[in-house]
Chains A and B, each alone.
Chain A
Amino acid sequence: MTISSDHTDYRIELRNITKQYPGCLANDAINLSLQPGEIHALLGENGAGKSTLVKTIYGVVSPDKGELLWDGDIVQIKSPSDARDLGIGMVFQHFSLFETLTVTENIELCLSKKQLSSIDNLADKITELSKIYGLDVDPSRYIHSLSIGERQRVEILRCLVQSVKLLILDEPTSVLTPQEVSSLFVVLKKLSNEGCSILFISHKLHEVTEICQKATILRGGKVISTCSPQDESPSSIAKMMVGDLADQDAGYSKKEGQQIILEAKDFTLPTKQPFGTSLKQVNFSLKAGEILGIAGVAGNGQDELMAAISGEDGRSVDNMLFLNQQDIGAFDAGERRKLGMANVPEERLGRGAVPEMTLSENTLLTQSKDFVSNGMVNWKKVQTYAQSLIKDYKVKCHGEFSEAKSLSGGNLQKFIMGREIGQNPIVLICAHPTWGVDVGAALSIHQSLLELRDKGAAILLVSEDIDELFLLADRIGSICDGYLSPIVKTDETDIEQIGLWMAGSFISDSQETVL
Chain B
Amino acid sequence: MIRVQARIEQSTLMKIASPLLAIFLTLIFGSVLFSAIGKDPLQAMQVLLIAPLSDMYNIGEMFVKMGPLLLCAVGLSLCYRANLWNIGAEGQLLMGALGGSTAALAFIDSSSVLALPITLICGVVSGMLWAAIPTYLKLKFNSNLILTTIMFNYIALYLLLWAVHGPLRDPEGYGFPESALFSDITTLPILFDEGRIHLGVIFAIFAAIGAWVLLNKSHIGFQIRVFGEDEPAARYAGFNGKKISWIVMLFAGALAGLAGVAEVTGPIGQLIPSVSPGYGYSAIIVAYLGRLHPLGALLSATFMAVLYMGGDLAQIEIGVPTAVVGMFQGVLLFFLLACDFFIRYRVSFITNNNPIQE
Give the B-binding residues of A (Cβ under 8 A): 1, 3, 22-23, 62-68, 74, 76, 310-312, 314, 332-337, 343, 345, 347, 350-357, 361, 364-366, 368, 372, 375-377, 379, 403, 405-406
Contact = CB atoms under 8 A, between A and B. Distances in A.
A67 B354 CA distance: 12
Interface stretch (B5-13, B37-45, B66-74, B322-330): B5-13
B112 interface: no
Given A64-B355, A67-B358, A332-B238, 8 more contacts: A62-B355, A63-B355, A63-B356, A333-B235, A336-B238, A351-B236, A405-B9, A406-B9
Nearest to A379: B217
Which 6 pairs between the two chains have the least Cβ-Cβ distance? A334-B238, A333-B238, A351-B232, A354-B230, A372-B219, A337-B238
Q: How large is the interface on B (under 10, 10 to 19, 20 to 34, 35 or more residues)?
A: 20 to 34
Contacts of A406: 8-9
17 contacts: A22-B5, A22-B8, A68-B356, A333-B235, A333-B238, A334-B238, A334-B239, A336-B238, A357-B229, A361-B222, A364-B219, A364-B222, A365-B233, A366-B236, A377-B217, A377-B219, A379-B217
A23 B233 contact: no
Contacts of A65: 355-357
B237 interface: yes
A364 B216 CA distance: 13
Nearest to A378: B217
Interface string B218-245: 1110100110011011011111100000
B240 to A, nearest CB: 6
A67 B218 contact: no
A311 B233 contact: no
Given A22-B5, A377-B219, A352 B238 contact: no
A332 B235 CA distance: 9
B236 A310 contact: yes
B232 A347 contact: yes
B219 A375 contact: yes
Nearest to B241: A314
Contacts of A372: 219
B220 A375 contact: yes
A406 B8 CA distance: 8
A329 to B, nearest CB: 15
Contacts of A350: 230, 232-233
Nearest to A312: B235
B236 A343 contact: yes
A314 B218 CA distance: 25
Contacts of B357: 65, 67
Contacts of A312: 235-236
A124 B52 CA distance: 80
A76 B356 contact: yes
Interface of B: 5, 7-10, 217-220, 222, 225-226, 229-230, 232-233, 235-240, 355-358
User: Which of the listed residues A68, A353, A354 has the most CB atoms from chain B within 10 Å of its own CB?
Assistant: A354
A74 B358 contact: yes
Nearest to B217: A376
A355 B230 contact: yes
Given A22-B8, A76-B356, A310-B236, A356 B219 contact: no
A511 B232 CA distance: 35
A372 B10 CA distance: 29
Nearest to B235: A312
A159 B291 CA distance: 49
Contact of A376 (B9, B218, B229, B355): B218
A333 B222 contact: no
Given A351-B232, A354-B229, A365 B218 contact: no
Given A74-B358, A351-B232, A377-B218, A356 B237 contact: no
A75 to B, nearest CB: 9
A403 B9 contact: yes
A403 B232 CA distance: 17
A227 to B, nearest CB: 29
Contacts of A361: 222
A356 B229 contact: yes
Nearest to A76: B356
Contacts of B219: 364, 368, 372, 375-377
Given A67-B356, A375-B218, A403-B9, A314 B235 contact: yes
B200 to A, nearest CB: 27
A188 to B, nearest CB: 30
Contacts of B237: 333-334, 337, 365-366
Contacts of A352: 233, 236
B227 to A, nearest CB: 10
Contacts of A314: 235
Contacts of B356: 62-63, 65-68, 76
A351 B239 CA distance: 12
Contacts of B229: 354-357
A311 B8 contact: no
Contacts of B240: 332, 334
A336 B240 CA distance: 12
Given A22-B8, A406-B9, A345 B218 contact: no
Contacts of A335: 238
Given A23-B8, A63-B355, A67-B356, A351 B238 contact: no
Contacts of A23: 8
B236 A333 contact: yes
A22 B346 CA distance: 11
A503 B9 CA distance: 43
A440 B240 CA distance: 37
Contacts of A364: 219, 222
Contacts of B5: 22
A312 B217 CA distance: 26
A353 B235 contact: no
B354 to A, nearest CB: 10
A3 B358 CA distance: 9
A447 B69 CA distance: 56
A365 B226 contact: yes
B16 to A, nearest CB: 16
A161 B65 CA distance: 70
A355 to B, nearest CB: 7
Contacts of B239: 334
A311 B238 contact: yes
A118 to B, nearest CB: 31
Nearest to A16: B357
Contacts of A3: 358
Given A333-B238, A372-B219, A353 B233 contact: yes
